[in-house]
C-alpha cells in the first residue's frame, strides 16, 4: 500500500514537472541524483571489497598461525625423535664400555618410553615428511637389533631380571657366542656397537631426520612466503580501496563545489540584483535557473503591464498626466539634454460639444484627437492626456529652428477637424509651445506653454503659438 502511494506521488510529480519542462529550455548537465547514486554504488562496492579483503586477510593470518604451529610442533617432534635415538645410542655405548647398570637403566627407560614411535604418530606433516621419519624409524629399529645383541652379550646367561625388556631377554645368541668369556663377549659387543654397520645405520637415521627437518623448513619457507605475499597483496589492495574512496570523495566534493556551491553563490548575487540567471552547473540548478527566469520574466511583464496601465489614460489609451510629467522630468534632468519642446494642447469649445451632442460624443472626440496626435507625430514624440480636454506632447530633439514641423501639423489637423463628419462634429485645437533650455523644469516649461496657449485663445483659438519673452 505504502509502496503504491509513493509510486503515485512520483508519477504525479513527474507529470507536473514534464508539463513545466515543456515550456523551458532543454537542460544539460549532471544530475545530483545520478551523482548521489554513483557515490552510493561506489561506496557500497568499495566497502564490500574492503570487507572481503579483510575476511581474506584474517583467513590468511589464521592459516599462517596454524602453519607456524604445525611447523613448530613437527620440527620439535623431529628433534625429539633424533634426541631419543641419540640417547639410546649413547646409553648402550657407555654400558658396553663400562658395564655400568645405570647406563642400561637409561637405555631401558628410553626404550619403554617409546619416544620415537610417539613422535612419528604426532607429527602433523605431509605424507612426504612422515615417510622420511618412518624410514628413519626403520633404520632405528635395525639399530635396536644391534643394540639388543650387544646388551644380551653383556648380560650373564643366568640373568632373569624383571626390569629387562623381553625384546632383549628373548634375543638369541649363537652357541659360539654363548661359549665366549665375559671379556670376549664385551669385545664382541664393542665391535657391534662401534662397528661400521652400526655407524652406517646410525648415519642413515640422522640423515633421514635431517632430511625431514630440511623438508619441513623448505615447506615452511614456501608457505610463509606465499601467505606473506598474499597478505602484502591484500594490504596493497586495501590501500587502493582506501585511496579510491578518498579520490571519489574528493571528486564529489570538487564537483559539488564547482557545480553547486559556486553556482548557488552566483545565483544569489544575480537574484539580489534582479538579473536573469544563466543556466549552469548540475541539471537541477539549470532547471531552477530556467524556472526562475520564466517566473521572473512573467513577473516583470506583469509589472510592466501594470505600470503601463497605471501610466495610460483610461479613455484615450495615451499616457496620463503622471506618466508624462515623470517622463519630462527624467528627460530634462539628464546632463546630456540640451534641446526639446513642450507643447500644451487644448480642445476648443469641448464643453459645447458635451452639451450639444452628449458626453458619449465628447468621449469619442477625445479618443479621436488622441489617435490623430499619435498618428501625426513621430514615434519618439511623447503624446499624453493631462486633463479633461487638455493634451500635451514632448518633442525630445526639437529646436526653434525646426518649429515649423509642429506648427504645420497642428494647422493641418485643424483643417481636417473644422470640417464636420459622420463620426464627429466640427472642432479645433489650440496649442502653445515652449522650448527647453538648460535649467528648465517641467513646471516652468508647462507655464510657458500655457502662456503661449492663452495667447492663441485670445486670438480666436484654432492655432499654434510659440512662447516669447
Name the residues annotated as catalytic. Answer: 389
Residue 161 grid coordinates = 631380571
Q: Which three cell numbers stand for residue 403?
A: 518649429
353 and 425 Cβ atoms separated by less than 8 Å: yes
Helices 196-256 and 32-98, axial angle in degrees (round to 10): 170
Are 167 and 143 in contact, with CB atoms under 8 Å apart?
A: no
For 62, the grid coordinates are 589464521
CA angle, 386 as apex, 385 and 390 as ends, to 5°? 75
46/53 Cα distance (integer angstroms): 10
Q: Are 251 and 38 in contact (CB under 8 A)?
A: no
Residue-wise DSSP of 110-160: HHHHTHHHHHHHH----HHHHHHHHHHHHHHHHHHHHHHHHHHHHS-TT--
Closest CA to 463 of 419, 433, 420, 425: 433
- Quickly list DSSP for 394-421: EETT--GGGTHHHHHHHHHHHHHHHS--
Amino acid at each position: 500500500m505504502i509502496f503504491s502511494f509513493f509510486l503515485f506521488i512520483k508519477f504525479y510529480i513527474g507529470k507536473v514537472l514534464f508539463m513545466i519542462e515543456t515550456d523551458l529550455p532543454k537542460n544539460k548537465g549532471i544530475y545530483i541524483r545520478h551523482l548521489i547514486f554513483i557515490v552510493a554504488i561506489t561506496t557500497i562496492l568499495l566497502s564490500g571489497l574492503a570487507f572481503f579483503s579483510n575476511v581474506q586477510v584474517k583467513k590468511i593470518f589464521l592459516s599462517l598461525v596454524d602453519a607456524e604451529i604445525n611447523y613448530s610442533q613437527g620440527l620439535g617432534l623431529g628433534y625429539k625423535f633424533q634426541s631419543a635415538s641419540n640417547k639410546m645410542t649413547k646409553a648402550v655405548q657407555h654400558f658396553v664400555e663400562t658395564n655400568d647398570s645405570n647406563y642400561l637403566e637409561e637405555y631401558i627407560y628410553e626404550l619403554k618410553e617409546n619416544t620415537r614411535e610417539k613422535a612419528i604418530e604426532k607429527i602433523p606433516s605431509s605424507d612426504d615428511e612422515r615417510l622420511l621419519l618412518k624410514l628413519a624409524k626403520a633404520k632405528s629399529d635395525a639399530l635396536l637389533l644391534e643394540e639388543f645383541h650387544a646388551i644380551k652379550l653383556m648380560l650373564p646367561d643366568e640373568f632373569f631380571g624383571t626390569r629387562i625388556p623381553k625384546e632383549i631377554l628373548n634375543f638369541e645368541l649363537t652357541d659360539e657366542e654363548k661359549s665366549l668369556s665375559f671379556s670376549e663377549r664385551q669385545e664382541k659387543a664393542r665391535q657391534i656397537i662401534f662397528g661400521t654397520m652400526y655407524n652406517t645405520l646410525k648415519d642413515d637415521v640422522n640423515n633421514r631426520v635431517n632430511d625431514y627437518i630440511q623438508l619441513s623448513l623448505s615447506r615452511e619457507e614456501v608457505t610463509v612466503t606465499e601467505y606473506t605475499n598474499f597478505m602484502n597483496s591484500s594490504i596493497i589492495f586495501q590501500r587502493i580501496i582506501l585511496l579510491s574512496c578518498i579520490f571519489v570523495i574528493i571528486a564529489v566534493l570538487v564537483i559539488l563545489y564547482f557545480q553547486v556551491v559556486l553556482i548557488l553563490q552566483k545565483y544569489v548575487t544575480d537574484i539580489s540584483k534582479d538579473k536573469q540567471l544563466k543556466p549552469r552547473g548540475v541539471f537541477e540548478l539549470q532547471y531552477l535557473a530556467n524556472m526562475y527566469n520564466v517566473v521572473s520574466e512573467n513577473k516583470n511583464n506583469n509589472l510592466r503591464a501594470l505600470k503601463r496601465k497605471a501610466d495610460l489614460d483610461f479613455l484615450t489609451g495615451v499616457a496620463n498626466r503622471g506618466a508624462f510629467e515623470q517622463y519630462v522630468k527624467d528627460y530634462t534632468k539628464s546632463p546630456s539634454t540640451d534641446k526639446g519642446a513642450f507643447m500644451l494642447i487644448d480642445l476648443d469649445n469641448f464643453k459645447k460639444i458635451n452639451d450639444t451632442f452628449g458626453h458619449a460624443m465628447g468621449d469619442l472626440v477625445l479618443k479621436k484627437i488622441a489617435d490623430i496626435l499619435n498618428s501625426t507625430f513621430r514615434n519618439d514624440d511623447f503624446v499624453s492626456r493631462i486633463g479633461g480636454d487638455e493634451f500635451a506632447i514632448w518633442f525630445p530633439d526639437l529646436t526653434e529652428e525646426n518649429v515649423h514641423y509642429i506648427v504645420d501639423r497642428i494647422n493641418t489637423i485643424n483643417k481636417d477637424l473644422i470640417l464636420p463628419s459622420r463620426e464627429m462634429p466640427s472642432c479645433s485645437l489650440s496649442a502653445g509651445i515652449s522650448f527647453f533650455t538648460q535649467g528648465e523644469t517641467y513646471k516652468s516649461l508647462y507655464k510657458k506653454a500655457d502662456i503661449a496657449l492663452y495667447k492663441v485663445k485670445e486670438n480666436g483659438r484654432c492655432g499654434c503659438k510659440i512662447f516669447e519673452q
